[in-house]
């Protein structure tokens, strides 16, 4: 089969239905086309596009691979496959296919936009910016290249330029969720929280994001009075996000409702004791609720600004018997620092925020300091390859091995003198427990840590150490080590 072979009429009809916004009809027409669809690359290309729209990236990838077998000269096939690989976080493979697409279509925008998107996922904003600007020089006003340029500028810390690009993109494409979401994220980073929360709502309409998680037949809460009403809150996003936002359930107006928190099963044991008036459960309640909302949406509904962040801590607690157990195992010798260096490597957001464990060596070299691994899963392979003279203690095979997230780490955080962490869920846990926690942050961090400040309005016991140059963890760790020396001296801890 070659690219010049005519598209079968049945497949062409399915394409028309797809372009007319009738995906179900297009899928049915494609199925009815039978061998016509299977034998021409247009068939699996359309099937892959439909699967991507329905958030089925694995199925889409198989369809695009089928199209490439039928006609290896179609550059768009490889670009589409790169999109599918991005969705499953196979980024290096996605970059290879996107670049192959550029070879087959060197002057087109689609292939080069795919390269830019993967470079951004790989946290390579400088080359991403160069590719985006090259596309715009050839295709003035290309929407995807324009958005990619704004995202790259933001990652590079050129925030005024990024804001101008995103403002213009929102004006030109008022119905497009992508620039609105990107601008919302930038607003949050810069401290414009109420507007940022509202615009970040667009994330649920993005094709590469999960749809809003809701239960059928229940109205979405948009700020209606809650006195005595039943509100179902659905814990969404990651562990750190859940810990950050669950605080809102303890304060008005949420506390005025009959609350059910539908949490991930592994979070129920951590949350339930902290929310005695809330029905914390892993399965939906049988009784119907009046309203529902995702947990992460609450700040947007409330219009929460910096001054309105509920920061009364602690709002989570460790189990006392576990604290005593780990305190006895750790002992009271030295200045005990629990360290966390690795987030979930399976998500693109982790790139640039996790820290090589070896970078903590200046901290380990402070006389009297003991480093104790707070994490027990991701990144533990680094424990076997530490610099000479560096020691990181582990807590045994039974540490954090049950089905419940964070019950052991919470107890350990309460049994040590200090927590030092990269930007991970364990940093949120320590902050919610009211423990002293020091965060090592990249130069342009996640939005919740804001810009240019050493404290956090979310966690009063947190102290933020920011990169002064992108990627330079050595300088950050040297500052943290010096701050530890000063803390130990002030406390009279032997060094």
Question: What would the pLDDT profile of 339-393 be if each residue is shown by its tens digit?
Answer: 999 988 777 677 788 999 999 999 999 999 999 999 988 889 999 999 999 999 9
Average pLDDT over residues 223-252: 95
322-353: string of b/e by CB count within 10 Å (b at 16+)?
bbeebbeebeeebbbbbbbbbbbeeebebbbb
Contact 390/308 with Cβ under 8 angstroms? no
Q: Which residue has the tokens 């050839």?
A: 138
Residue pointed to by tokens 């329905």:
54
Q: Is pLDDT at 112 greater than 50 in this prediction?
A: yes
Burial class (CB in 10 A: 0-12, 13-18, 19+), 41: buried
Do 484 and 369 form a contact (C-beta atoms < 8 A)?
yes
Pair 269, 280: CB distance under 8 Å: no
Tell me how far apart the alpha carbons of residues 443 and 467 are, in angstroms, rounded to a whole number. Answer: 5
The DSSP result for 352-413, as a single string, is TTS--GGGGHHHHTSTTEEEEE--SSTTGGGGGSPPTT--EE---TTTT-SSSTTHHHHHHH
Which is more confidently placed, 208 or 435?
Answer: 435
Residue 63 structure tokens: 């369809």
Element (H, E) at 327: helix 320-330
- 183's tokens: 């601008």
Beta-carbon count within 10 A of 360 CB: 26
What is the rounded CA–CA span in Å between residue 113 and residue 131?
8
Distance CA 136, CA 115 (A): 14
CA geometry: angle at 398 spanning 395 and 400, to 5°?
Answer: 80
**3-state secondary structure string across 198-245:** HHHHHHHHCCCCCCCCCCCCCEECCCCCCCCCEEEEECCCCHHHHHHH
Q: Is the separation of the CB atoms in 84 and 61 below 8 Å? A: yes
Share of the chain above pLDDT 90, in %: 71
pLDDT at residue number 423: 95
Q: Are 191 and 169 in contact (CB under 8 A)?
A: no
- For residue 471, is it left (φ>0), alpha (ψ between -120 and 50) or beta? left
pLDDT tens-digit readout, 122-179? 999 999 999 999 999 999 999 999 999 999 999 999 999 999 999 999 999 998 999 9
User: Which neighbouring-strand residues pair with 1?
Assistant: none
The conformation of residue 369, written as its DSSP 8-state character, comes to E
Confidence of residue 495 (pLDDT cuts 50, 70, 90): low
Q: What is the pLDDT of residues 456-481, one digit of tens each?
A: 999 999 999 999 999 999 999 999 99
- Of 310, 360, 312, 314, the C-alpha closest to 337 is 360
183/23: higher pLDDT: 183
Question: Residue 3 — very low, low, confident or very high, per pLDDT cuts 50/70/90?
Answer: very low
Backbone angles phi, psi at 283, to 5 degrees: -115, 145
pTM of the model: 0.90
In whole angstroms, what is the distance from residue 288 CA to residue 266 CA? 24
466: nearest Cα among 441, 483, 438? 441
Q: State the pairing for strand pair 258-262/230-234.
A: parallel
User: What is the chain's length?
Assistant: 495
pLDDT band at 494 (very low <50, low <70, confident <90, very high): confident
> How do beta strands 230-234 and 291-294 pair?
parallel
CA 424 to chain centre: 10
* Least confident stretch, 121-135, 176-190, 204-218, 234-248: 204-218
| Residue 52 near residue 83 (C-beta atoms within 8 A) | yes
Q: What secondary structure does DSSP assign to 28-65, as a single string?
A: HHHHHHTHHHHHSTHHHHHHHHHHHHTT-HHHHHHHHH
In angstroms, how far is the first alpha carbon of the chain from the final one? 74
Q: What is the mean pLDDT of the chain?
A: 92
Outline where DSSP puts E strands in 91-212: none
DSSP 77-105: HHHHHHHHHHHTT-HHHHHHHHHHHHHHS
Residues 191, 455: Cα–Cα separation, whole Å: 13
The secondary structure of residue 465, as a DSSP letter, is E
Is residue 482 scored above 90 in pLDDT?
yes
d(C-alpha 185, C-alpha 198), whole Å: 10
CB 426 within 8 A of CB 340: yes
Q: Is residue 22 classed exposed, middle or buried when 0-12, 13-18 and 19+ CB atoms within 10 A define those classes?
A: middle
């Amino acid at each position: 089969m070659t690219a010049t072979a005519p598209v079968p009429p049945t497949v062409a009809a399915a394409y028309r239905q797809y372009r007319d916004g009738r995906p179900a009809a297009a899928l049915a027409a494609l199925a009815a086309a039978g061998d016509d669809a299977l034998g021409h690359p247009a068939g699996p290309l359309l099937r892959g596009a439909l699967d991507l729209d329905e958030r089925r990236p694995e199925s889409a990838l198989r369809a695009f691979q089928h199209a490439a077998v039928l006609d290896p000269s179609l550059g768009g096939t490889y670009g589409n496959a790169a999109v599918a690989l991005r969705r499953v976080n196979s980024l290096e493979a996605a970059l290879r296919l996107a670049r192959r697409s550029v070879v087959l279509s060197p002057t087109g925008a689609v292939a080069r936009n795919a390269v830019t998107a993967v470079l951004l996922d790989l946290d390579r904003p400088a080359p991403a910016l160069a590719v985006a600007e090259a596309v715009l020089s050839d295709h003035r006003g290309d929407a995807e290249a324009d958005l990619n340029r704004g995202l790259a500028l933001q990652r590079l810390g050129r925030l005024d330029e990024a804001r101008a690009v995103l403002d213009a993109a929102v004006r030109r494409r008022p119905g497009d969720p992508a620039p609105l979401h990107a601008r919302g994220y930038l607003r949050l980073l810069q401290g414009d929280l109420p507007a940022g929360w509202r615009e970040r709502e667009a994330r649920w309409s993005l094709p590469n994001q999960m749809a809003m998680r809701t239960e059928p037949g229940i109205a979405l809460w948009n700020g209606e009075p809650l006195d005595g009403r039943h509100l179902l809150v659905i814990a969404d996003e990651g562990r750190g996000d859940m810990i950050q936002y669950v605080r809102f359930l303890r304060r008005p107006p949420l506390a005025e409702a009959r609350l059910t928190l539908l949490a991930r099963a592994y979070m129920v044991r951590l949350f339930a004791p902290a929310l005695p008036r809330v029905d914390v459960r892993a399965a939906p309640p049988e009784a119907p609720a009046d309203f529902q909302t995702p947990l992460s949406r609450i700040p947007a509904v409330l219009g929460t600004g910096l001054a309105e962040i509920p920061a009364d801590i602690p709002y989570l607690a460790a189990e006392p018997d576990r604290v005593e157990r780990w305190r006895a195992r750790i002992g009271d010798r030295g200045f005990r620092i629990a360290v966390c260096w690795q987030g979930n490597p399976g998500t693109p957001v982790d790139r640039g925020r996790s820290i090589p464990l070896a970078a903590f060596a200046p901290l380990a070299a402070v006389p009297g300091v003991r480093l104790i691994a707070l994490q027990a899963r991701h990144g533990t392979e680094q424990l076997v390859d530490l610099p000479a003279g560096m020691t990181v203690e582990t807590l045994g095979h039974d540490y954090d091995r049950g089905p419940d997230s964070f019950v052991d780490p919470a107890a350990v955080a309460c049994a040590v003198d200090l927590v030092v962490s990269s930007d991970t869920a364990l940093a949120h846990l320590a902050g919610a427990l009211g423990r002293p926690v020091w965060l090592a942050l990249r130069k342009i961090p996640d939005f919740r840590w804001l810009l240019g400040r050493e404290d956090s309005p979310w966690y009063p016991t947190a102290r933020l150490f920011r990169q002064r140059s992108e990627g330079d963890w050595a300088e950050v760790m040297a500052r943290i080590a010096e701050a530890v020396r000063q803390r130990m001296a002030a406390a009279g801890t032997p060094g």
